[in-house]
Amino acid sequence: MAERAEVVFVDGVRTPFGRAGEKGQYWNTRADDLIVKAMIGLIERNPNLPTDRVDDVGIAATTQTGDQGLTLGRTAAILAGLPLSVPGYALDRMCAGAMTTVSTIGAAIGYGAYDIGIAGGVEHMGRHPMGFGADVNPRFIAEKLVDPAALAMGATAENLHDRFPALTKERADRFGMRSQQKVAAAYAAGKIQPDLIPVAIASDAGWGLATQDEGMRPETTMEGLATLKTPFRSHGRVSAGNSSPLTDGAAVSLLASETVAKELNLGVKMRMVSFAFAGVEPEVMGLGPVPSTEKALRKAGLSITDVGLFELNEAFSVQVLSFLDHFGLDDDDPRVNPWGGAIAIGHPLASSGVRLMIQLAREFEERPDVRYGLTAMCVGLGQGGTIIWENPHFAGKGGK
């Protein structure tokens, strides 16, 4: 019988995120090179890691063809220089890809099958536009298994505005603007940069280095946002200013059993407490994190008031706001995305789950008064994912 273990997040890094498309910094960069670069960065800054002790490498991507195909976990492990004895796999749960590689590798560690694992994800949305090449079964629409709007994420966000009239465009825009401001402040304070692995990039101008997230718009104003088009519905409420942009990027984490992490002196940034995934009606996809969070809290024996920090993926403002309203949190609650989120940083689908964890881990270091934190995100076709983490730096009872 394998010995059960506590699961810890040892470390996580990511590439700077790029704007998808021809003008973006990664247009000439392969998707697999992004995740390989991140993995090399992770290994280099954890010199105590005996790479032959890595039991598995799980790398997610939503589109698994071309330079995101061929079992990314295995190919990326070889390209990153891990010993050939280390196996790897690829996985897809759309936006929660990396969150799911963390939960599956974490579960294997918790069960005692693995000691150490690498989990992450990549999405080059410029080279692999959302849904491109997918052959959606006609039964979905013909048999009305899902609402036609369910297949366009922006349309599901418009549906949330319809369902909850209290979620106004004004609130969504303000949340988007605040995300931009919080990310700008976090950058100015040097909080984001330490976990970015610079990537060499080629353009018509020659070689360069990507060192920061490219999609940020710190100059955003409410007046500017009010003028933007609403591409998912005429006279709608969802715009480029209150949505996450199309993004290229990769993120990767090192997980281990707490005993092995201590034995090898690897360091512990977070302890996994519980995780859950859940489904909702696909046409209101953004509500997914509500039941997944309720489930994860239940499994952990915690309530929402026990959570001192939230890293919520901002696929769309309205989607985060629906979560906040459900749990009775204010739009500008300081516990929520204190360093901003995906609206400003970007959301390269299958990598974002680990981006949330990287950010939460850094926040934990600064907040020994906080015991529990939560990472959560919505997922295409009506799902949500949540992982609850404990702060190893927590310095006393009674804090949150």
264 binds ligand COA (CB under 6 A): no
Burial class (CB in 10 A: 0-12, 13-18, 19+), 38: buried
- 331-350 residues near ligand COA, rule: CB under 6 A: 347
* Residue number, 240 or 304, with CB nearest to ligand COA: 240
* Residue number, 88 or 380, with CB nearest to ligand COA: 380
* Residue number, 98 or 378, with CB nearest to ligand COA: 378
Q: Give the separation between CA 119 and CA 368, rounded to whole angstroms.
A: 26
Q: Which of 124, 128, 161, 378 is catalytic?
A: 378
Q: Give the separation between CA 225 and CA 216, rounded to whole angstroms.
A: 14
- 90-119 residues near ligand COA, rule: CB under 6 A: 95
Stretch that binds ligand COA, among 25-33, 182-190, 239-247, 390-398 (CB under 6 A): 239-247
Which x/- pattern over 211-230 shows residues binding ligand COA (rule: CB under 6 A)? ------x--x---xx--x--
Q: Give the separation between CA 255 and CA 12, rounded to whole angstroms.
A: 9
- Single out the residue of 149, 153, 297, 307 in contact with ligand COA (rule: CB under 6 A): 153
- Single out the residue of 66, 198, 231, 267 in contact with ligand COA (rule: CB under 6 A): 231
318 binds ligand COA (CB under 6 A): no
Is 347 one of the catalytic residues?
yes
Q: How far is the CB of 151 from ligand COA (least distance, A)?
A: 11
Stretch that binds ligand COA, among 3-11, 187-195, 241-249, 303-311 (CB under 6 A): 241-249
CB 354 within 8 A of CB 121: yes
Q: Site for ligand COA (CB under 6 A): how many residues?
A: 19
245 binds ligand COA (CB under 6 A): yes
Say how many C-beta atoms besides its own lie within 10 A of residue 381's C-beta: 18
218 alpha carbon, distance to own chain's centre:
21
Residues of the chain by 3-state class (helix, strand, coil), percent to 5: 35, 20, 40
Q: Give the separation between CA 398 and CA 226, rounded to whole angstroms.
A: 43
Sorted by sequence, the CB contacts under 8 Å of residue 149 that are 6+ apart come out as 155, 156, 158, 159, 283
Which x/- pattern over 357-386 shows residues binding ligand COA (rule: CB under 6 A)? ---------------------x-x------
Instruction: Tell me which H or E stretch contains 36.
Output: helix 31-44
304 binds ligand COA (CB under 6 A): no
User: In Å, what is the CA distance from 362 to each residue of 118, 144, 158, 187, 400?
Assistant: 19, 44, 33, 13, 16
- 13-72 residues near ligand COA, rule: CB under 6 A: none
Residue of 29, 400, 82 lying closest to 252 (CA atoms): 82
* Residue number, 135 or 223, with CB nearest to ligand COA: 223
23 alpha carbon, distance to own chain's centre:
23
Q: How far is the CB of 314 from ligand COA (least distance, A)?
A: 9
Name the CA dihedral angle for 217, 223, 228, 232, rounded to a multiple of 10 degrees: 100
Pairing between strand 372-379 and 383-390? antiparallel
260 binds ligand COA (CB under 6 A): no
- Catalytic residue positions? 95, 347, 378
Q: Which residues bind ligand COA (CB under 6 A)?
A: 95, 153-154, 217, 220, 224-225, 228, 231, 240-241, 243-246, 315, 347, 378, 380
